[in-house]
Amino acid sequence: MNTTTREPEKLAYSLAEAARVSSLGRSTLYRHIRAKRLELVRVGGRSLIPAAALHRLVRGEA
């Protein structure tokens, strides 16, 4: 019986996490945010990139 538990998928990434998982630099992410090709949401004092928005950008759909 396999009892491996998986962590739930992230709904949003911090800028540092988004840079790491996408292999894009922070300045590249900021450039896409300024050009409105990547969504940035602020929650409290944090800036987050929705996972779906990052996936669209990486797939070239943004």
**How confident is the model over 47-52, as a mean pLDDT?**
98
Q: Is residue 2 situated within a structural domain?
A: no
- State the Cα–Cα distance between residues 11 and 2, nearest whole angstrom: 26
Taking only the tens place, the pLDDT of each residue in 1-44 is 667 788 888 999 999 999 999 999 999 999 999 999 999 999 99
Q: Is residue 6 situated within a structural domain?
A: no
- What type of residue is 8? P
> Structure pTM?
0.83
Q: Is residue 49 situated within a structural domain?
A: yes
pLDDT of residue 4: 76
The number of distinct structural domains making up the chain is 1
Tell me which residue range forms the domain holding 30. 12-59
Q: Is residue 54 situated within a structural domain?
A: yes
Q: Is residue 1 situated within a structural domain?
A: no
SS3 26: helix
The dihedrals phi and psi of 27, each to the nearest 5 degrees, come to -65, -35
Q: Is residue 3 situated within a structural domain?
A: no
pLDDT of residue 1: 61
pLDDT of residue 34: 98
